[in-house]
Amino acid sequence: MMFHYFLYVSVFVVLLIWATYIDLREYRIPNITNIILFGVGCIYAIDIEGQVIWIAVSESMAIFLLFWIFSVGFTWMRGRIGLGFGDVKFVAALTPWVGLINIPVIIFVASLIGLIAIALNKTLQYFTWNYQQENMHKSKSASFFETKLPFAPFISLAGCMIFFASNHWSDNLLELIFTH
């Protein structure tokens, strides 16, 4: 049983790293990554968590619909994309792994980490001589709020944090080490 758990965890972490890598390079999350994350997540929810398949699927569908409405609404109101469709699918694919109840926490933590990353990035750019020379004609406040940033790395980091915090993985690791 413990071996299965760590096999699932390994797949989970590798898929999150892969999604992060692609999103950082190309500003997109491959559909195949979301499909595998969702599929293995449903199997994990059934095998390890003892959840019924229709609950895992319906929770993911609800999150997908909610985030899709948010994304379309934001784009319609602001005239620009705030949350990409890949991010919507990514959060829905993450749902079987962490459960519906943890998705708001993941989004909050991911947003907080993203804001900190933007603030650090802009602070470093501000104090860099090249940045000041190249951007003297631009408004600093406008460029801060127009920063394009992939969201999957922050979702992945927050997802890992919540997944490991909610699954007592350290207890499982100690049990695996000391029972074999």
Residue 40 near residue 8, CB atoms below 8 Å? yes
Angle between helices 85-98 and 103-126 (to 10 degrees): 130
- Read off the pTM: 0.83
The 8-class DSSP code of residue 101 comes to: G
Nearest by Cα to 34 from 155, 175, 146 = 155
Contacts of 134 (CB under 8 A, 6+ apart): none
pLDDT digits (tens, 9 = 90+) for 115-170: 999 888 888 877 775 555 555 555 554 454 556 789 999 999 999 999 998 875 55
Instruction: Evaluate if residue 19 carries a pLDDT over 60.
Output: yes
pLDDT digits (tens, 9 = 90+) for 85-115: 999 999 999 999 999 999 999 999 999 999 9
Domain regions of the chain by residue span: 2-179
Number of Cα atoms under 13 Å in the Cβ half of residue 32: 2
